[in-house]
């Protein structure tokens, strides 16, 4: 590997996972559970599964990702349920496709529980050390070198470095070499990544202040309690977590905005100190005030960081303003007039890579056996990171077994949408998963994640027998309930009296429960009115109700999926030289040679490739055959 005499062979393993955030945890667990000897490197054992920003798991579209991770046999959903302070269903006033779970997490408990799971997983070693170099021979990864000159020989490495690569925190005029929350940065690995061919970029994110909960006047805020009549994240749990602590809602005001605008020249975002790209969909309070000058107020959520701490997270007020300005602007918010700041907000800049250099398996195109997952891929969010980590771990394991890769299509999972967006379109700013990104979202709901993915997880080897038994039982229950809804009929007279309450005239004959649901009658009302179907669990009732209610839309959605599959099924050879295909525009040739799409469907989603270019490729494919 190298002739440096100071190096020593620390371990020999199948795989090394660099970083123990949410991507690293899922990746390491997947590899170890598939039987591979795995080493998990972390800069600090106290930062394993750390929640450096929001003390929460889930949210719009992110809840979908957590349920999919769980359905495949991942860990995030189980730990989120076990350590939640409260759980809510977002967007309940909208359609089932965009409803998402969000749990307020106990930050310290989440870290402790995930660390416990990792420590008790067979085939997994955890090592506190900084990775400094990826060792490559003949275009293949052969090991990882640490700052202590230890070498871990391996067949593959999964890079899950989060926001730690050359990270700097910025508050006002103060710029410090630091990772989030005061943890040490990783200052040496970027050079190695550039050397083996990665394109390095610089992104930014930020976090708000944490205040002492004892000094908050909650009487001036609106209480936000959790829900009880919902299902949990994990399909392994029957009931949602207990709601232990409330959150609170307050608002900024014109005084807050005036303080920010008066001090804008001191903001690193506006005085040139920060030049990297920040998240569009989770902007700082400075950006919100400047960008939305017509708004008189912005929502602020006060969220407890844990049951064992007084710290409260001021969600919605991320900032990198100087400390004196932060004190003034937080004190202008109702309920925070006398709040003591325990940790000030800051921005953090970090190195990441261009995901157009990465295959749909998340393997680096230029070096075999090197995978990337999480914020190193330019994404934001714990859930996006965990999903990528799981997929990278699965694909690294399958490759070592000599098996075909595991690639989820856009019509199969939000995870498929996430990875396809990254490797096909790339991202010029921190990427956040949203329901609007999924064109087949009516078919990719939270409630049916297990029906879509658990069989796949079992084939891979991550779904345990206990999980599979629960899946089979739920599937059988759902099929039986659907049959009852469609075949059980209510007499004309009874149905007429019941449907009158919902504005319907008496029907011309008997009516099935399914017919009533299609008339937008809630299933819970049918159960109560006719004293029936009470033996079914809530998650089965909900899935069956959605299946019946949206039957027409689901049929249309499946037809669109089948149409799209025709292009996905037309594979493109790996060795195509697009410069030699007559009729392709110059931009299309450049983009196709860069991305190297696997099929016509992916080719059509590349920015700069238009339908005419796809037609040229289709003709070329037919003549090549």
- Kindly state whether residue 548 falls inside one of the protein's structural domains: yes
Give CA torsion, residues 541, 542, 548, 551, to 10 deg.
Answer: -150
Per the structure, the complete domain to which residue 509 belongs is given by: 466-560
pLDDT in tens, 423-482: 999 999 999 999 999 999 999 999 999 999 999 999 999 999 999 999 999 999 999 999
The enclosing domain of 496 has a CATH number of 1.10.10.1800
Q: Which residues pair with 58 in a beta bridge?
A: 102
pLDDT in tens, 369-383: 999 999 999 999 999
- Cα distances from 263 to residues 266, 318, 342, in angstroms, run 5, 15, 22
225 and 341 both lie in a single domain: yes
240 and 334 both lie in a single domain: yes
The pLDDT of 324-331, averaged and rounded, is: 97
pLDDT band at 1 (very low <50, low <70, confident <90, very high): very low
Q: What is the pLDDT of residue 5?
A: 59
pLDDT band at 395 (very low <50, low <70, confident <90, very high): very high
3-state helix, strand, coil in the chain (%, to 5): 40, 20, 40
556 and 597 both lie in a single domain: no
Q: What is the rounded end-to-end Cα distance, in angstroms, of the chain? A: 43
The enclosing domain of 609 has a CATH number of 1.10.150.570
End position of a domain, from candidates 560, 579, 596: 560
Total number of domains in the chain: 3
556 and 579 both lie in a single domain: no
Among 565, 554, 604, smallest CA distance to 441 is for 554
Q: Is the pLDDT of residue 2 over 80?
A: no
Q: Is the pLDDT of residue 609 over 70?
A: yes
266 and 323 both lie in a single domain: yes
493 and 542 both lie in a single domain: yes
pLDDT band at 560 (very low <50, low <70, confident <90, very high): confident
246 and 342 both lie in a single domain: yes
- Kindly state whether residue 44 falls inside one of the protein's structural domains: no
- Kindly state whether residue 306 falls inside one of the protein's structural domains: yes
549 and 617 both lie in a single domain: no
- Kindly state whether residue 424 falls inside one of the protein's structural domains: no
302 and 218 both lie in a single domain: yes
Q: What is the pLDDT of residue 625?
A: 61
pLDDT band at 4 (very low <50, low <70, confident <90, very high): low
The enclosing domain of 240 has a CATH number of 2.40.30.260
555 and 611 both lie in a single domain: no
Instruction: Kindly report the pTM of this predicted structure.
Output: 0.94
How far is Cα 165 from Cα 173, in angstroms, rounded to an integer? 21
The pLDDT of 596-607, averaged and rounded, is: 92
Do the strands 489-490 and 84-90 form a parallel or antiparallel pair, or are they unpaired? unpaired
The pLDDT of 319-334, averaged and rounded, is: 97
606 and 556 both lie in a single domain: no
Q: Is the pLDDT of residue 197 over 70?
A: yes
244 and 307 both lie in a single domain: yes
- Kindly state whether residue 302 falls inside one of the protein's structural domains: yes
Q: What are the DSSP E strand ranges found in 438-533?
A: 489-490, 511-512
How far is Cα 200 from Cα 193, in angstroms, rounded to an integer? 8
End position of a domain, from candidates 509, 532, 560: 560
pLDDT in tens, 332-357: 999 999 999 999 999 999 999 999 99
- Kindly state whether residue 173 falls inside one of the protein's structural domains: no
User: What distance lies between CA 581 and its chain's CA centroid?
Assistant: 38
End position of a domain, from candidates 538, 560, 582: 560
pLDDT in tens, 263-311: 999 999 998 888 888 888 789 999 999 999 999 999 999 999 999 999 9
């Amino acid at each position: 590997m190298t002739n440096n005499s100071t190096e020593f062979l620390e371990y020999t393993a199948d795989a090394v996972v660099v970083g123990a955030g949410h991507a690293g945890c899922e990746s390491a667990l997947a590899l170890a559970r598939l039987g591979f000897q795995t080493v998990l490197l972390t800069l600090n054992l106290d930062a394993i599964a750390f929640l450096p920003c929001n003390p929460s798991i889930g949210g719009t579209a992110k809840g979908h990702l957590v349920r999919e991770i769980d359905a495949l046999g991942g860990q995030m959903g189980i730990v989120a349920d076990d350590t939640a302070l409260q759980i809510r269903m977002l967007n309940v006033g909208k359609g089932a496709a965009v409803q998402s779970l969000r749990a307020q997490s106990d930050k310290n408990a989440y870290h402790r529980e995930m660390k416990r799971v990792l420590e008790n997983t067979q085939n997994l070693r955890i090592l506190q050390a900084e990775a400094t170099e990826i060792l490559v021979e003949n275009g293949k990864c052969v090991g990882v070198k640490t700052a202590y000159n230890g070498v871990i020989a391996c067949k593959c490495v999964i890079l899950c470095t989060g926001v730690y690569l050359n990270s700097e925190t910025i508050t006002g005029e103060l710029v410090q070499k630091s990772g989030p929350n005061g943890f040490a940065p990783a200052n040496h690995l970027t050079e190695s990544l550039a050397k083996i061919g990665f394109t390095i970029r610089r992104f930014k994110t930020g976090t708000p202040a944490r205040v002492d909960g004892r000094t908050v006047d909650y009487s001036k805020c609106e209480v936000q309690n959790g829900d009880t009549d919902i299902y949990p994240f994990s399909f392994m749990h029957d009931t949602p977590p207990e709601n232990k602590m409330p959150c609170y809602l307050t608002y900024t005001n014109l005084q807050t905005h005036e303080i920010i605008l008066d001090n804008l020249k001191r903001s690193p975002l506006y005085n040139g100190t920060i030049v990297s790209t920040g998240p569009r969909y989770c902007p700082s309070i400075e950006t919100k005030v400047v960008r939305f000058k017509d708004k008189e107020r912005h929502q602020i959520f006060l969220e407890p960081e844990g049951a064992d701490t007084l710290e409260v997270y001021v969600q919605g007020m991320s900032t990198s303003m100087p400390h004196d300005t932060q004190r003034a602007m937080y004190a202008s918010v109702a309920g925070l007039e006398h709040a003591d700041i325990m940790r000030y907000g800051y921005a953090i800049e970090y190195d990441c890579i261009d995901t157009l250099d990465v295959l749909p398996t998340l393997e680096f195109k230029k070096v075999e056996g090197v995978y990337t997952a999480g914020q190193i891929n330019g994404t934001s969010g714990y859930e996006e990171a965990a999903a990528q980590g799981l997929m990278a771990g699965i694909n690294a394991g399958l490759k070592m077994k000599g098996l075909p890769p595991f690639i989820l299509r856009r019509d199969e999972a939000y995870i498929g949408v996430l990875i396809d967006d990254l490797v096909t379109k790339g991202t010029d700013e921190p990427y956040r998963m949203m329901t609007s990104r999924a064109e087949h979202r009516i078919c990719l709901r939270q409630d049916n994640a297990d029906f879509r993915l658990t069989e796949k997880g079992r084939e891979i080897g991550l779904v345990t027998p206990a999980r599979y038994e629960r899946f089979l039982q739920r599937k059988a229950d759902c099929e039986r309930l659907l049959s009852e809804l469609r075949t059980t009929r209510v007499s004309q007279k009874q149905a007429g009296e019941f449907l009158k309450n919902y504005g319907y005239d008496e029907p011309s004959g008997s009516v099935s429960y399914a017919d009533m649901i299609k008339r937008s009658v809630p299933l819970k009302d049918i159960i109560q009115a006719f004293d029936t179907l009470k033996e079914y669990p809530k998650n089965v009732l909900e899935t069956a109700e959605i299946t019946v209610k949206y039957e027409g839309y689901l049929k249309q959605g499946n037809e669109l999926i089948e149409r799209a599959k025709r292009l996905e099924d037309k594979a493109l050879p790996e060795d195509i030289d697009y410069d030699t295909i007559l009729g392709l525009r110059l931009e299309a040739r450049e983009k196709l040679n860069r991305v190297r799409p696997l099929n016509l469907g992916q080719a059509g989603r590349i920015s700069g490739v238009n339908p005419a270019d796809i037609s040229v490729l289709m003709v070329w494919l037919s003549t090549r055959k």
